[in-house]
Amino acid sequence: MKSSSDISCFGVRDGLIKIASTVAARPALPPPNHDDLPPNSVHPPGPWNRCITLFIALASAELSTGGAERLVVDAALGLQARGHKVEIYTSHHDPNHCFEETKDGSLNVNHIKPPAYLPPSLGGKLHVLLAHARQLSLAMHLYRSGRVDDIDVFFVDQVSTCIPLLRVLTGKPVVFYCHFPDKLLARGTYAVGGARKGTSFLKRVYRYPMDWLEETTTRQADIILANSQFTARVSKEHFKSIKQTMRVVYPGINISAYEGEVDYTDPDTNAILSDTPTLLSLNRFEAKKNAALAIQAFAKLKASSKLDKIRLVIAGTISSSTFLPEYPPSTPTGGYDPRLEDNVRTLSSLTDLATSLSLTYTLTAPASALHTLPTFPTLRNTAPAPAPPQPDILFLLNFTTPQRTALLTRPSIRALLYTPANEHFGIVPVEAMACGLPVLACDSGGPTESVVDPAFAVPVLRSTSTSIPQEQEDQDQEHTRTGWLRPPTPDTWALALHDIVSLSEAQRAVLAVRARARARAVFGMEAMARGVEAALREAVGRGEVPVPVWADRGVWNWGAMLVGVVVAYLVGPWMFGSA
């Protein structure tokens, strides 16, 4: 692993002084020739599309085990498989808490440790400000590394602060991948039609400098990619100054990972399997995931039909945010963590809900789980009853990879219930489709793009574009269905569940073929790699950056902005809460 030295203000000053001569001295690439451009092509080929390889530098704030980090890893692997040279530069990479490909030699990862005066936080405060400062430190290391002349293009995700600095100091184009605006994540759950601000006026004033910085730096990217049309639309609504088209490149999954054999010798796996028809919900035990919807709809399904022998499995996924360094990397530590108040309250409320609906339940966890199973009192504050041998609901805390594979591929699983509303993308429905499972999801956010429901049409904004085929032209035909999209109400979900469990084996088999085909064609790693590659090649084909990005507004504007940010973040967190 490589480490950076402390970066002084003089390094930044010297870089800015050199920029005019540095950029001017670089020969520009020949103008792109679009004579061979196919009609209606989203990504013009340009001269670089005929090159054998590109040298791509991926700048990512951290490489842990979250969904955003998984996309970076898969993008790097996909680009390498397509013949390009790829190096990842990151400010945080813990070998005990990362994806295997980042430490087994599959990828060239450069861990650039920020200076000691730029920790992730100070006393639990200043998270956002320090994240931006660490990203700027990473950009300065790249500039001073001596590799700039070899690099063709930068791929940046999560934190956009470094985009103008990279473009100005290196003269190389930058492609930015937007997972979801931090501006909206800081405000809380996003609702269609507007953000649920839920914050005081003073807190919004406190957030303004960072929101402005995020928007200003994001729009400097040569090309902006988004993980869904939902994210692209929301970003355009709230970042008014971004005029360029945001292109959609969906996250990809490794399809082969869902085609392997299930290890039935694993005792944890055998403990949760059953031949009883089962409905499955996979998500973290967080209130915003709304697993209560699955329980309420399940109860109505049982009450309105003769399906006595059917069960619901609510399984908590691994969450990178709850990892502790002292735990082995293979240990399940997320999904449910008793140290997190949201986890405890959510699980307690779900068990209370099950009891109130006269549904029996059992709590279970893998043998390797770090935490003992919680015990909740009943609604009458009496000791909980012994676990029934055949419960209506199985709560699986922190499932393992073999358990997850077994649940998704078990023939007795009737459907995947995806309960969150307004998800930015949502990879779980895609995983279910890759396994041939019908999906029931909310009619909002990313699942409206991954799940095909003939009764639901997704509008494609003029301000966004995507490289996927136009396969929704005949969505009014039932033979296109891969799932059901419904408003998040128990009654509508119960009706949809009745339709799903009433499918014949032949109908389920046909739907499974369609679901697998869609997952492979639109959401496979190869499809994602092609989309990212097209954007990178077009950015390079436009030529090197001709002038400093901030020249038209003046360095003083940037200096004043940064002073304002520092003042706001030195005072704001203690007045209005951490950020």
243/274 same-domain check: no
Phi, psi of 56 (to 5 degrees): -110, 125
User: For 99-142, what is each residue's pLDDT tens digit?
Assistant: 888 988 999 999 988 888 888 877 767 777 788 888 888 999 88
CATH number, domain with residue 107: 3.40.50.2000
Q: Is residue 41 part of a domain?
A: no
Same domain assignment for residues 493 and 561:
no
Final residue belonging to a domain, choices 523, 550, 565: 523
DSSP 424: S
> What is the residue range of 79's domain?
9-31+51-252+529-576
Instruction: Read off φ and ψ for residue 86, nearest 5 degrees.
Output: -130, 135
Query: pTM for this one?
Result: 0.74
Asked if the structure places residue 414 within a domain, the reply is yes
Strand extents, DSSP E, 91-173: 108-111, 153-157
Q: Do 519 and 548 have their domain in common?
A: no
- Examine the domain organization and report whether 500 and 557 are in the same domain: no
The residue ranges of DSSP E strands in 227-291, in sequence order, are 246-248, 278-282
Among 523, 542, 565, which residue terminates a domain?
523
Number of domains in the chain: 2
Q: Domain for residue 2, yes or no?
A: no
- On whether residue 39 sits in a domain, the answer given is no
| Whether residue 279 sits in one domain with residue 180 | no
Helical axes 292-304 vs 341-356, angle rounded to 10°:
10
My answer on whether 370 and 446 are in the same domain is yes
Both tokens assigned to 241? 């100054």
pLDDT at residue 202, rounded to an integer? 66
Any domain includes 326:
yes
Q: Which of 25-29, 97-101, 220-224, 491-495 has the lowest mean pLDDT?
A: 25-29
Q: How does DSSP classify residue 97? A: S
| CA 555 to chain centroid | 34
The identity of residue 465, as a single letter, is S
> What is the number of other CB atoms lying within 10 angstroms of the CB of residue 109?
23
Tokens of 522: 């639109």
Q: Six-digit token pair at 264? A: 């039935």
Say yes or no to pLDDT of 4 above 50. Answer: no
The verdict on 456 and 475 lying in the same domain is yes
Taking alpha carbons only, the member of 71, 73, 185, 75 closest to residue 131 is 185
Helices (H) and strands (E) in the chain, counts: 17, 17
Residues 73, 515, 98, CA angle at the centre, nearest 5°?
20
Range from 179-188, 305-314, 419-428, 461-470 carrying the lowest mean pLDDT: 461-470
What tokens were used for 247?
Answer: 């292109």
Query: Do the strands 194-195 and 190-191 form a parallel or antiparallel pair, or are they unpaired?
Result: antiparallel
Residues 324 and 447 in one domain: yes
Looking at the fold, whether 192 and 323 belong to one and the same domain comes out as: no
Same domain, yes or no: 543 and 504: no
472, 541: one domain: no
Residue 177 has a pLDDT of 96
Give domain status of residue 38, yes or no. no
Residues 456 and 533 in one domain: no
Task: Look at strands 393-396 and 439-442 and give their pairing.
Answer: unpaired
Tens of pLDDT, residues 130-185: 888 888 889 998 888 888 889 999 999 989 999 999 998 899 999 999 998 887 77
Q: Is residue 405 a part of any domain in this protein? A: yes
Q: Kindly state the tokens that stand for 167.
A: 């473009």
